Amino acid sequence: MGTSVLSLRIDGELLERLRHHAAKRGMSVQDYVVRTLIRDDFDERFQSAVEETERFYGVN
């Protein structure tokens, strides 16, 4: 299994929030994001966020 690079453009305020959460755990932002993505419940939380966003914007 190889590796890939994921590049993100995010709001400065969100980046600061990520830095704060990562620092509380003694982690880099990159490690914090990866750890969040591999959590067991990520798929469920992501699906809930997608559904909530679709409801908000009225997407069918």
Confidence check: pLDDT of 60 > 80: no
- pTM, two decimals, is 0.59
Instruction: Return d(Cα 41, Cα 50) in angstroms, integer.
Output: 14
Residue pLDDT, tens place only, 26-53: 999 999 988 887 877 878 888 898 999 9
Please answer whether residues 11 and 18 qualify as being in contact, where contact means their C-beta atoms are separated by less than 8 angstroms: no
pLDDT of 45: 84
